[in-house]
Amino acid sequence: MSEARSLRMHSFGASDIGRRRTTNEDAYLCDDDLGLWVVADGMGGHAAGEVASQEAIDTVHGMVRRGKTSLKLEGPLTDERSRAAARLLEGAVQAATYIVYAMAEIDRGKAGMGTTITAMMRFGGALVTAQVGDSRIYRVRGDEAVQLTEDHTLINWQLKQGIITPEEARVSKQRNVITRAVGSRDYVQVDTTVSEPELGDTFLICSDGLHGYLRTEEIPAIIAEGGDSSVKTLIDLANGRGGKDNITAIVVQVS
């Protein structure tokens, strides 16, 4: 059992249309009071991706807000609290999946719409993450950045199976093919993890419109700028290197 710790978490976020797209299908949420941060990267075209990402975030937000009031998640970190927090966040993502899928079934003009969901929720002195798709969470601790989430992409699956090499992956035309999405079916497999942040940690949650241009070793120096400045630098970097997609970044600082 870990003792509950009094850590403050403060976030900064922004989203940019990029240099090639005509609409921004990304959506994001920063709710420091609730302890919830989410990035969603929509897909589907004809404004459907924009609908999917915002609807998914609204659903997750509402589910977590209601769930946190009824569950006893505060206090020392225990296995029971970890499981309850993971179930809450996973259930919120599953609810979003069902809602987005149902909307597409009702309105055939939105057929095929979906979204990634990458979420981080605080409970007590711990964090739980939920992952569907290829947006990412990085943790910066000291001068090292580590990717905490796994990309649900065809390329990543091929790499894990040894079908292609990292060199082949970098130039593959299938780099943007995702294997899991919220809304493509009425159910999706959600990856969840529980961890304990340390004083001074910073977390970066971002869509592939950013991390597709960003090298992991570049992250700590940019994050060290702090707050809105680091978010602006990240978005400017992605635009400066091509800006082919929408760009969204949330920086969450632990103090």
For 181, counting Cβ atoms within 10 Å of its Cβ (0-12 exposed, 13-18 middle, 19+ buried), the class is buried
Neighbour tally for 2: CB within 10 Å: 12
CA angle (27, 120, 26) in 5-degree steps: 10
How many folded domains does the chain comprise?
A: 1
Q: Are 155 and 174 in contact (CB under 8 A)?
A: yes
Q: How far apart are CA 255 and CA 253, in angstroms?
A: 6
DSSP state string for 202-253 = EEEEE-HHHHTT--GGGHHHHHTT-HHHHHHHHHHHHHHTT--S-EEEEEEE
Domain assignment of residue 2, yes or no: no
Please name the helix (run of DSSP H) or strand (run of DSSP E) that holds residue 183, with its range, or none: none
Q: Kindly state whether residue 176 falls inside one of the protein's structural domains.
A: yes
Residue 3 lies in a domain: no
Are 114 and 52 in contact by the 8 Å Cβ rule? The answer is yes
Tens-digit pLDDT profile for residues 171-221? 776 667 889 999 989 999 999 999 999 999 999 999 999 999 999 999 999
Distance, in Å, from the CA atom of 52 to the CA atom of 121, rounded to the nearest integer, reads 21
> Tens digits of per-residue pLDDT, 26-80?
999 999 999 999 999 999 866 699 999 999 999 999 999 999 999 989 889 999 9
Domain for residue 160, yes or no?
A: yes
Residue 32 lies inside a defined structural domain of this protein: yes
CATH code, domain with 139: 3.60.40.10
Which pLDDT value is given to residue 101? 94
Helices assigned H by DSSP within the chain: 48-70, 79-106, 154-160, 166-171, 208-211, 219-223, 227-240
Say if 1 falls within a structural domain. Answer: no
- Reported as a pLDDT band with limits 50, 70 and 90, residue 7 is confident
In a domain, 4, yes or no: no
For range 12-20, the mean pLDDT: 97
Listed in sequence order, the residues at least 6 apart from 106 whose beta carbon sits closer than 8 Å to its beta carbon are: none
Convert the pLDDT of each residue in 65-83 to its tens digit: 999 999 989 889 999 999 9
pLDDT at 47: 66
What's the token pair of residue 112? 């095929």
- Quote the mean pLDDT of the chain: 92
Q: Identify the domain containing residue 15 by its residue range.
A: 9-254
